[in-house]
Amino acid sequence: MTKPALDIVLFSRKLSDVVGWEGPFFVVFWYFISGWVLRFISPPFGKLTAIEQRLEGEYRTCHSDLVNHAEEIAFYKGQDWEKTRINTSFDVFHNQKTHSFNYFYFFRNSINIPLL
């Protein structure tokens, strides 16, 4: 922790010696402005991940229920209902995963585009 802090202090001091106090001031100003802008334009990654984890848990629960109750499902001929339940759960999970991936991919690539 001290090494990066020391590097920043020494770099800022050398920069202020070369270009004046405006150099470090504008570097810090740009850092805070870009952080503020990113905060407002970035999608809610935490919420997307929480939804994704919940849906994955529901999908795993469907598989657990199938394994634990396979005999009863076969006896009562509930395989069509269970198949529909598992496929629906997977489709919802897959759609959310794709949606989250598209957000992550778009946001990451839009930030990496150089401003010319």
In this model, does residue 111 exceed pLDDT 70?
A: no
Q: Which pLDDT score, from 0 to 100, does residue 9 have?
A: 84
Looking at per-residue confidence, does 37 or 98 come out higher?
98
The domain spans of the chain are 1-41, 44-116
What Å distances lie between residue 22 and 62, 68, 102, CA to CA?
A: 61, 68, 40
Q: Which contiguous run of DSSP H or E holds residue 59?
A: helix 45-68
Give per-residue pLDDT as tens, 16-73. Answer: 888 888 888 888 888 888 888 878 887 888 899 999 999 999 999 999 999 999 999 9
Residue 116's pLDDT band, with cuts at 50, 70 and 90, is very low
Put simply, whether the predicted model's pTM sits higher than 0.75 gets the answer no
